[in-house]
Structures are given as structure tokens and as C-alpha cells.
């Protein structure tokens, strides 16, 4: 039986709906009927071929990392899940091309968890990749009560979670954002806003905090801009980035007594931590803008353009 999937057949294509075979779950895997799929910054990179030298890509290439849906079938050696269970998680494949922008997808059981109660599938699909990345950033920064942390990219998916998690620990979060996202950032825990459209945000922060801040968590900057934000940090502080290119600034930062810490996505086995925080109300899903599967190309284009407030998701049913 074929399934509908959004795919590209060569790098740079706009993409379209394909009829593809429904995958079969192998050892330790789960077949999920996808109800919604989150859109992440990696997706436009996959379809454009920007990462083709770093990961295997298979065509027709179905993008998508996040999923929320219902277990359709389980492979051998999968305890804890049964057909009909509502789950969410990440595709967690060692290659690109069998993603979640499809009616069905296969994922390792270890990369899935029970869908948080009270969330729609679109809301749940917006969580896994950015939530796990936020956990990694918080682990790296280890915010403490009374610390001041500059958050660059505060209005995006990862930033929306980091702002909540850091402020819940008692840190003062300074959100670097545009005016259209200030209220969003404040609602998610930021104590102070810096509007990058009114002048150099780094100079604005230096005026407010001449003695420096404790840490910068940056989801946006390249190496040069990351180093400039790093100049805000007092000696002994910490600069955290999820972006590989930012690591080129590490040596200069460390000369100033500022430690650089990369933050990659935490292991999906930690999804239950996020589920617990969502179900207890300690964590909220940011606003989610949805697109039907047939408009996945528009969602990818919007993500590639940047400045997404909250999250984007594709609804499959």
C-alpha cells in the first residue's frame, strides 16, 4: 500500500507529493502513522543539499525530524509500545531521506515517548528536536539563581524553551529579539528585551551591564558575531552555541577567560523529562503555525528565511 509523502528528487527542488511504499519496522523499530511533523532549521538544509558532504542523503528525499502520531505496528524487540499508542519523538536515522513529512514513518523505539496529555498532535510535533536541543543548552549553561544570561534567538523554537527553563532556575534572561517578538519572549520568561532593530544589541547590553553578564546562549550567530556577543561575558563566564560555525570563536573567547560550550541535541531517551515538564505546566509549547502536507514546500521556505516566531508544523491528516 502506498503512502503520501512530501519529497524532493534532487537538491534544490521545490518538492511535491509522492506515492511511496509504507516502510516496514525492523528490530527495535516502530511504524508510526504520522498526524503532524515539526519543521526545523535542518529541513531546508537537507533539501538544499547543504549537508550532503556530512551525511548520506537518499532520494526521493523525505525531510522531517519531528513527529507526533499513533503507533501502527512494532518490529521485533520493542517493549513498552503497542498499536494505537499516541507517541511523539524524532526520526533518529543515520541518513537523510526517510523523514517525517509523510503519512507513515519508522523510528527507533528509543527515540519515541508517549505523547504529552493535553497537547494536540501539531503541538507535540513541535517539541522533540527543539526541546531536546534546549535541554542540551541548559545542561551546558547550567544557569544559576541570580545569574544574567543573554539569549540570542529567543523567539525561535529552541529559544522559546531555553527561556522558560533558564528563568525557572532563577536566572535573569535578556532576550535579543525584534519588536514583533518581544511580547512572545516576555511571555516565555524573558525579563528584559533588547531590540536589535534599534541599534547594535551588543552595545545596548554593554550600556545596561557595564560589568558584563554571566553567560550567552546563542542559536543564531556565526563565529564573528558569536565572538562579539562573547565580549559581553565577564571572565569566568560561559558562551554556549548550538551552531557548528560558532566554534571557530572558541580560542578567542577562552583567551578572555570565557569558556565555550557547544550544545547538540540531547539524547531522545530524555523525552520523558520534557513530557513531565509539559504535563505539569512547567513548560509551555510556543505558538505553532501549521501547514498541510501539500504545502510543505512553503513551510520549508518560511523556515529557511529565518525569524520564525515559535514553531512550524506540517499536518498530515
| Residues carrying CATH 3.40.50.720, the chain | 133-262
Residue 77's CB is within 10 A of a number of other CB atoms, namely 10
Domain(s) of CATH 3.90.180.10: residues in the chain? 2-127+285-315
Rounded average pLDDT over 22-49:
97
- CATH 3.30.420.40 is held by the domain 133-262: no
Q: Is the pLDDT of residue 317 over 90?
A: no
Confidence category of residue 307, pLDDT binned at 50, 70, 90:
confident
* pTM exceeds cut of 0.85: yes
Superfamily of domain 2-127+285-315: Medium-chain alcohol dehydrogenases, catalytic domain (3.90.180.10)
C-alpha 294/C-alpha 276 separation (Å) is: 33
pLDDT at 1 over 80: no
The Cα–Cα gap between 86 and 69 comes to 6
Q: Is the pLDDT of residue 40 over 90?
A: yes
- Split at pLDDT 50, 70, 90, the class of 306 is confident
Let me know: does 249 contact 223? Beta carbons within 8 Å.
yes
List the one residue out of 58, 47, 71, 61 whose CA is nearest residue 18.
61
Amino acid at each position: 500500500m502506498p503512502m503520501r509523502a512530501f519529497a524532493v528528487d534532487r537538491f534544490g527542488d521545490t518538492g511535491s507529493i509522492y506515492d511511496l511504499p509504507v516502510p516496514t519496522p525492523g528490530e527495535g523499530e516502530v511504524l508510526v502513522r504520522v498526524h503532524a511533523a515539526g519543521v526545523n532549521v535542518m529541513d531546508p538544509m537537507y533539501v538544499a543539499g547543504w549537508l550532503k558532504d556530512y551525511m548520506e542523503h537518499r532520494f526521493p528525499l523525505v525531510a522531517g525530524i519531528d513527529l507526533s502520531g499513533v503507533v501502527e505496528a512494532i518490529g521485533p524487540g520493542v517493549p513498552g509500545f503497542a498499536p494505537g499508542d499516541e507517541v511523539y519523538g524524532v526520526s533518529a536515522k543515520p541518513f537523510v531521506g526517510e523523514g517525517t513529512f509523510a503519512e507513515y514513518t519508522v523510528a527507533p523505539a528509543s527515540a519515541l515517548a508517549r505523547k504529552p496529555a493535553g497537547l494536540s498532535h501539531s503541538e507535540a510535533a513541535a517539541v522533540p528536536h527543539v526541546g531536546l536541543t534546549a535541554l542540551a543548552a541548559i545542561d551546558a549553561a547550567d544557569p544559576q539563581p541570580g545569574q544574567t544570561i543573554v539569549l540570542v534567538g529567543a523567539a525561535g523554537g529552541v529559544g522559546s524553551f531555553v527561556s522558560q527553563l533558564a528563568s525557572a532556575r532563577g536566572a535573569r534572561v535578556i532576550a535579543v529579539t525584534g519588536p514583533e517578538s518581544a511580547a512572545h519572549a516576555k511571555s516565555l520568561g524573558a525579563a528584559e528585551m533588547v531590540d536589535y532593530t534599534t541599534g547594535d544589541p551588543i552595545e545596548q547590553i554593554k550600556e545596561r551591564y557595564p560589568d558584563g553578564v554571566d553567560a550567552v546562549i546563542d542559536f543564531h550567530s556565526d563565529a564573528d558575531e558569536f565572538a562579539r556577543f562573547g565580549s559581553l561575558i565577564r571572565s569566568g563566564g560561559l558562551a554556549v552555541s548550538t551552531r557548528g560555525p560558532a566554534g571557530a570563536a572558541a580560542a578567542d573567547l577562552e583567551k578572555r577567560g570565557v569558556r565555550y560550550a557547544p550544545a547538540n541535541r540531547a539524547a531522545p531517551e530524555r523525552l520523558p523529562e520534557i513530557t513531565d515538564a509539559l504535563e505539569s505546566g512547567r513548560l509551555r509549547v510556543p505558538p505553532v503555525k501549521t501547514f498541510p502536507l501539500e504545502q510543505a514546500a512553503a513551510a520549508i521556505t518560511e523556515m529557511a528565511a529565518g525569524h520564525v516566531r515559535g514553531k512550524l508544523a506540517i499536518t498530515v491528516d
